[in-house]
C-alpha cells in the first residue's frame, strides 16, 4: 500500500513539473529571441525633428534599442475582462523614460515629472487625444487609454521629446529583455500571428501554433540598427 502511494506521489510530481514555466496544463507559451540587424540602407533617421537637449550638464539616459521592441499576438479575440497593466512614462533629463510602453486597453499610464522644469505631455493620436497641461517637478498626471492603437506622446514645451504607447486588445505581449529573449505566457491553444514591432520599421510577422502544455520557440529578426 505504501509503495503504491509513493508511486502515485511520484507520478503527480512528474506531471506537475512537466508543464513548462509560463503556462498551465490548458495553455501554452511562446518563447524566443529578437535579433536587431544592421540591414538598414543609408543613415538612420533621428527620432525627433530637433536636436536633443538636456537639463544642465546631464546626458539623457541610454536606452538599449531592443527595449523599444514589442512582441505581441495580432488580431486575437480575447474573451473576458482584460487585465490592466500599470505603467509610467517618466520625464527625466528632457526625455521620456522608457521610450516605448505597451499596455492593455483600459490601462492607465502615469506621467511623473522628474525634471527641475515644467513639462506638458500631450498626444494628437487617433487612439488617444489628450493634453495634461503644464506641471512642475515632483508632480505626476495620469491618463487612461480606452482605445487600442498606437499613441505618439510629446511635450508641448520641449519639441524634441517623444515616446510611443502601444495599446493592445489582448494581454499576449511583452517587451524583450536586454539580451533579446522574450516569453508570452498562458496562451490558449491555436494558430496565431506573432508580431515583432519597432517604430522605425513597423510590424514583422510570422505564424505560430501553440499547443496545450507546450512552449513553442520562435526567433524574430528586425532590420533595426542599434544605435548604442
Cite the DSSP H helix spans in the chain: 2-18
CB–CB of 126/16 below 8 Å?
Answer: no
- pLDDT category at 62 given cuts 50, 70, 90 is confident
Asked if residues 107 and 144 have their Cβ atoms less than 8 Å apart, the reply is yes
Task: Among 42-56, 86-100, 104-118, name the one with the lowest average pLDDT.
Answer: 42-56
Residue 115 banded pLDDT, cuts 50, 70, 90: very high
CA distance 135 to 156: 12
Q: Is pLDDT of 171 > 80?
A: yes
Weakest mean pLDDT among 13-22, 155-164, 208-217: 13-22
Query: Of residues 19 and 226, which shows the higher confidence score?
Result: 226
Q: What is the mean pLDDT of residues 61-76?
A: 93
CA atoms within 13 A on the CB side of 33: 4
Q: What is the separation, in whole angstroms, between the first and last Cα of the chain?
A: 64
Q: What gap in Å lies between CA 10 and CA 63, rounded to an integer? A: 47
List, for residues 30-52, the tens digit of each pLDDT value: 999 999 997 544 433 333 333 34
pLDDT above 50 for 135: yes
Rounded to whole angstroms, the Cα distance separating 50 from 158 reads: 10
Mean pLDDT estimate for the chain: 85
User: pTM here?
Assistant: 0.81
Higher local confidence (pLDDT), 16 or 154: 154
pLDDT of residue 166: 98
Q: Kindly indicate the confidence band of residue 11, based on its pLDDT and cuts at 50, 70 and 90.
A: very low
Asked if residue 196 has pLDDT above 60, the reply is yes
Inform me whether the pLDDT recorded for 104 exceeds 50: yes
Residue 226 is predicted with a pLDDT of 64
Amino acid at each position: 500500500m505504501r509503495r503504491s502511494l509513493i508511486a502515485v506521489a511520484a507520478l503527480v510530481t512528474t506531471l506537475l513539473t512537466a508543464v513548462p514555466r509560463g503556462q498551465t496544463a490548458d495553455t501554452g507559451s511562446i518563447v524566443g529571441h529578437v535579433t536587431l540587424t544592421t540591414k538598414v540602407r543609408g543613415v538612420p533617421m533621428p527620432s525627433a525633428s530637433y536636436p536633443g537637449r538636456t537639463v544642465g550638464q546631464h546626458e539623457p539616459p541610454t536606452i538599449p534599442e531592443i527595449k523599444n521592441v514589442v512582441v505581441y499576438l495580432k488580431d486575437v479575440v480575447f474573451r473576458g475582462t482584460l487585465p490592466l497593466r500599470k505603467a509610467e512614462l517618466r520625464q527625466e533629463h528632457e526625455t521620456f523614460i522608457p521610450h516605448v510602453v505597451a499596455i492593455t486597453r483600459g490601462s492607465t499610464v502615469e506621467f511623473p515629472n522628474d525634471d527641475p522644469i515644467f513639462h506638458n505631455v500631450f498626444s494628437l493620436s487617433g487612439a488617444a487625444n489628450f493634453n495634461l497641461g503644464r506641471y512642475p517637478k515632483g508632480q505626476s498626471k495620469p491618463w487612461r487609454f480606452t482605445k487600442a492603437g498606437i499613441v505618439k506622446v510629446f511635450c508641448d514645451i520641449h519639441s524634441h521629446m517623444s515616446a510611443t504607447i502601444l495599446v493592445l486588445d489582448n494581454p499576449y505581449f511583452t517587451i524583450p529583455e536586454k539580451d533579446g529573449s522574450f516569453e508570452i505566457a498562458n496562451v490558449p491553444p491555436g494558430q496565431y500571428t506573432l508580431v515583432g514591432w519597432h517604430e522605425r520599421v513597423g510590424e514583422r510577422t510570422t505564424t505560430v501554433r501553440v499547443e496545450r502544455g507546450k512552449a513553442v520557440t520562435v526567433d524574430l529578426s528586425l532590420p533595426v540598427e542599434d544605435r548604442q
